[in-house]
Amino acid sequence: MSPAGRIARVVPDLGAGAPGGVYDYLVPEPLQEQLIPGQRVVVPFGRRRVFGLVVELTEESAVKGLRPVERIRDPEPLLLPQQISLAQWISTHYLSPLPEVIRAMVPPAMRGGRADARPVRRTRPVDESEGSLAGERPELNLSPEQERVFAPIERAVRWSSPEEFLLFGVTGSGKTEIYLAAIRTALERGRGAIVLIPEISLTPQTVARFSRHHPGGVAVLHSGLTPGQRGAEWRRVRSGRARVVVGSRSAVFAPMPNCGVVIVDEEDSTSYKQYDRVPRYHAVEVARRLGRILSVPVIMGSATPRLETYQQAAAGGPLTMLRLPRRYNGRPLPPVRVVDLREELAWGNRSPFSRELSAAVGRSLQEKGQVILFLNRRGTSSVVLCRGCGEALGCPSCSVSLTLHLPDRLCRCHYCGHFEPLPERCPTCQGPVLRALGAGTERVEAEARQLWPEARILRMDRDTVGHRDAHREIYEAFAERRADLLIGTQMVAKGWDLPGVRLVGIVNADIALHFPDFRASERTFSLLTQVAGRAGRGDEPADVILQTYSPDHPAVLRAVEHDYEGFAREELEVRRALRYPPFTRLLVVTRSDVREEVARADCEDEAARLRPQLKAQGVEVLGPGPAVIPRLRSLHRWQITLKGARLDGVAELLPAGKGWALDVDPA
Ligand code: ADP
Ligand code: ZN
């Protein structure tokens, strides 16, 4: 980039619905000395004047008759050079137009589409801990095992070496303490840290843990912030006042000057992939790229890393494997007992609780231990079927069945939000008998209240956690032992460190297992391992009871043994044989339209066109076929999947425009 170029490449108008291109402008003589990439400028656009962001300065343009940049909006660049490089990489790697990536990086409060818009009002930062903890210093005493894995991390942070680490440590092994030590090292060197954690783990307790050990102030970035709060946190980071950022997926875009380490906790969390809008990026891969751009280390931690990540470490590179195979303080991992639900059914037990699980819950409650019951399905029942004609109640806009929520007698679509009252009779045949099948958390709660009327029971799922405060209230009530039994979805599966939990009951281990996705087995294994990992963190022994219809499935068998590496070895063999990631790459092209024929015909045309063109490059074209959920929010969706060891260079050949979506490395 030439600092005194005469052409500025500008993303005009950062507002929503803005144009898709990058446009060239002349840089007038007086501005040539001052203009730098990342700055906001005022440019003419059509008949309007808009804010734009300079992404590059060059000497030449292919376009004739360029208009000039009018003025510099603010001398301090809005985006740092590292962010612009990152945006360029994301744009290329995830086939997303650069302006869309730039817009995703800039918080809404700072997009200010119209050049005559008023400046944003300043809002108080959200971090209540700021200031009060200043001066307190990380007396962090790592165990010898922790010291061993920390040594190479410390070296890399100290010397700013762009090394990538997989911190592969069992649940409760003390990974967070390693992150804290790495952050302390960065701060000691006058540098900052970006820490990504899954949205759901971003509790005040986690944030407090990160702010306790250093005086620099922690900025928190998550989806629950108002635009004003987000803007305020952004400015604290940009100005250097907050030197540590803790946030979910998009915190990887934090404008941190002088960042010294990038950390991704629970790197396998599905929340790191943005799949529903452009740019469809994976925050872990973006974090790794950021590390390379800045030449700083990246630490990815998990008890159940993605197989892609694990393989890159187990194969000896490019990731460095750091293992913490035991829990901190020598606590054992809890024993997992399997209950075969087929036998329960044969015995005539139709309740969500096997005899063994209900006995164990009763025993734990009697001994004043806490219980977590996990079921990855909310609502009362997942299907309402007519006894007469066999039809299931379906959503009018999506091809999924409606979930019954008995407390308000509503049938809800979990994909589009549609709801309707539970009908008295079958809408298809007017039959009088409707049966509800497939228990969800509401049903488990109702049965638990009947079985243990004395117990203080809480439920945590998307229905009870409408907003962040509700999440915090439920968590705190349980953490402070104001409740005995907590029923929850995957919201309760990760990260929690509660010593009072004596029993974890997995009500149905199979829910994710039969999903038509090559990662179903991996997901199930991870979820089971993580949930089981909530037990046994206190001084008293704890148990896990796992109920399943598939006791012989490898994901279940290995989870029972807490054997990630055994699972990974087998599963990687399967992936290699079937040529799935990490042994190949995928790119999904989706066409959606209100008319099914159009979506389908367009996909067929494209597949026929692409197949011969891509064959030479060794890229297979699979499909077209309907998406996993063929109709969503009234749109029919057809897909083509590209599969190949290398996908570079396919971009120019792919369809683009309205109705088409590209997802590179889909999750
Ligand atoms: P992980 O993130 O691997 O699940 P945590 O970092 O939450 O594990 O650690 C599990 C528990 O052990 C926590 O209660 C934590 O405070 C404690 N712990 C871990 N390392 C240390 C240490 N070096 N000193 C004191 N307590 C520790
Ligand atoms: Zn729907």
How far, rounded to the nearest angstrom, does the alpha carbon of residue 336 sit from its chain's CA centroid?
Answer: 27
Q: What's the gap in Å between 178 CA and the centre of ligand 1?
A: 9
The number of the ligand 1 atom at minimal distance from the alpha carbon of 324 is 3
Q: What is the mean pLDDT of residues 123-129?
A: 44
Check residue 15 and give its pLDDT: 67
124 pLDDT higher than 70: no
Q: Whose CA is nearest to atom 10 of ligand 1?
A: 172
DSSP track, 97-156: -HHHHHHHHS-GGGT--BTTPPPPPP---S-TTTTTTTT--------HHHHHHHHHHHHH
Who's near 51: CB < 8 A, 6+ residues apart? 12, 13, 14, 40, 41, 42, 43, 73, 111, 112, 113, 114, 115, 117
- Structure confidence by residue, pLDDT tens digits, 562-571: 999 999 999 9
What sign does the CA torsion over 197, 202, 208, 209 have? negative
Q: For residues 558 and 327, give the distance between their C-alpha atoms in angstroms, rounded to a whole number.
A: 18
Query: From ligand 1's centre to the CA of 114, what distance in Å?
Result: 49
Ligand 1 closest atom vs CA 176: 6
Residue 89 structure tokens? 């990489």
Please state whether the peptide bond connecting residue 423 to the residue before it is cis, i.e. omega within 30 degrees of 0.
no
Protein residue with least CA distance to atom 23, ligand 1: 142
Ligand 2 geometric centre to CA of 397 (Å): 5
Q: Among 149, 176, 322, which residue has the most ligand 1 atoms within 8 Å of its CB, making it the best to mutate?
A: 176
Atom of ligand 1 nearest to the CA of 141: 23
Nearest protein CA to atom 5 of ligand 1, as residue: 174
Whole-number Å distance between alpha carbons of 449 and 372: 14
Query: How many CA atoms within 13 Å lie on the side-chain side of 296?
Result: 25
Q: Whose CA is nearest to atom 16 of ligand 1?
A: 174
Chain-centre distance of CA 346, in angstroms? 39
Per the listing, tokens 């309402």 go with 384
Q: Ligand 1 center to residue 531 CA distance, Å?
A: 17
Which pLDDT value is given to residue 472? 87
Measured from the Cα of 265, ligand 1's closest atom is: 2
The predicted model gives 422-440 an average pLDDT of 93
User: pLDDT tens-digit profile of 21-37?
Assistant: 899 999 999 999 999 99
User: Measured from the CA of 495, which atom of ligand 1 is nearest?
Assistant: 4
Residue with the nearest Cα to atom 21 of ligand 1? 174
Cα 409–chain centre separation: 32
pLDDT tens readout for residues 172-224: 999 999 999 999 999 999 999 999 999 888 877 888 888 876 655 899 998 88
Which ligand gives the minimal distance to the CA of 144?
Answer: 1
533 Cα nearest atom in ligand 1: 4
Task: Give distance in angstroms: CA of 632 to centre of ligand 2.
Answer: 6
- Of 5, 81, 72, 69, nearest to 37 by C-alpha is 81
pLDDT computed for residue 204 by the predictor: 78
**Residue 411 CA: which ligand is closest?**
2
Model confidence pLDDT, tens digit, residues 584-612: 999 999 999 999 999 999 999 999 999 99
- Please state, in angstroms and rounded to a whole number, the distance separating the CA atoms of residues 235 and 257: 11
pLDDT value, residue 139: 67
pLDDT value at residue 19 = 67
Is the pLDDT assigned to residue 109 strictly greater than 90? no
pLDDT of residue 464 exceeding 80: yes
Residue nearest to atom 17 of ligand 1 (CA): 174
- Which ligand number lies closest to the CA of residue 333? 1
428 pLDDT above the threshold of 70: yes
User: What was the pLDDT predicted at 111?
Assistant: 76
Mean pLDDT across 634-659: 93
Question: 422 C-alpha vs ligand 2 centroid, how far in Å?
Answer: 15
Binning pLDDT at 50, 70 and 90, where does residue 474 land?
A: very high
Atom in ligand 1 nearest the alpha carbon of residue 173: 3
- pLDDT above 90: percentage of residues in the chain: 81
pLDDT at 128: 40
Which ligand minimizes its atom distance to the CA of 139? 1
136 falls in which pLDDT band (50, 70, 90)?
very low
CA of 402 to the centre of ligand 2 (A): 8
pLDDT tens readout for residues 242-301: 999 999 999 999 999 999 999 999 999 999 999 999 999 999 999 999 999 999 999 999
Distance of alpha carbon 523 from alpha carbon 531, whole angstroms: 12
| Type and span of the H or E element at 488 | strand 485-488
pLDDT in tens, 485-533: 999 999 998 888 899 999 999 999 999 888 888 999 999 999 999 999 9
Among the bound ligands, name the one nearest to the CA of residue 167: 1
Pocket of ligand 1 (CB under 6 A): 141-143, 146, 169, 171-177, 328, 497
> Cα(327) to centroid of ligand 1, in Å?
8
Residue 259 pairs with which residues in a beta bridge? 192
Q: 176: CA distance to ligand 1 center in Å? A: 7
Ligand 1 pocket mutation, candidates 497, 498, 531, 564, criterion most atoms within 8 A of CB: 497
Residue 143 backbone dihedrals phi, psi, to 5 degrees: -70, 165
Mean pLDDT of the chain: 91
Are the C-beta atoms of residues 503 and 360 closer than 8 Å to each other? yes
Residue 173 carries which DSSP code? S
Take atom 25 of ligand 1 and give the residue whose Cα is closest: 141
For ligand 2, the distance from its centroid to the CA atom of residue 419, given in whole angstroms, is 8
Give CA–CA dist 478/31, Å, rounded. 59
The alpha carbon of 303 and the centre of ligand 1 are apart by a number of angstroms equal to: 13
Cα 5 to averaged position of ligand 1 atoms, centre (Å): 52
pLDDT band of residue 5 (cuts 50, 70, 90) is low
Indicate the pairing of strand 298-302 with strand 164-169. parallel
In this prediction, residue 648 has a pLDDT band, given cuts at 50, 70 and 90, of confident
Read off the tokens for 78: 């809005």
Rounded distance from Cα 493 to ligand 2 centre (Å) = 26
For residue 419, the ligand closest to its alpha carbon is 2
Q: For residue 84, what pLDDT is reported?
A: 97
Q: Whose CA is nearest to atom 19 of ligand 1?
A: 174
Q: Rounded distance, CA 641 to CA 647, Å? A: 12
Distance 195 CA to ligand 1 centre (A): 17
Pocket-testing residue among 143, 148, 177, 327, ligand 1, by greatest number of atoms within 8 A of Cβ = 177
Relative to the alpha carbon of 145, which ligand is closest?
1
- pLDDT value for 505: 98
Distance CA 19, CA 256 (A): 28
- Closest ligand by atom to 415 CA: 2
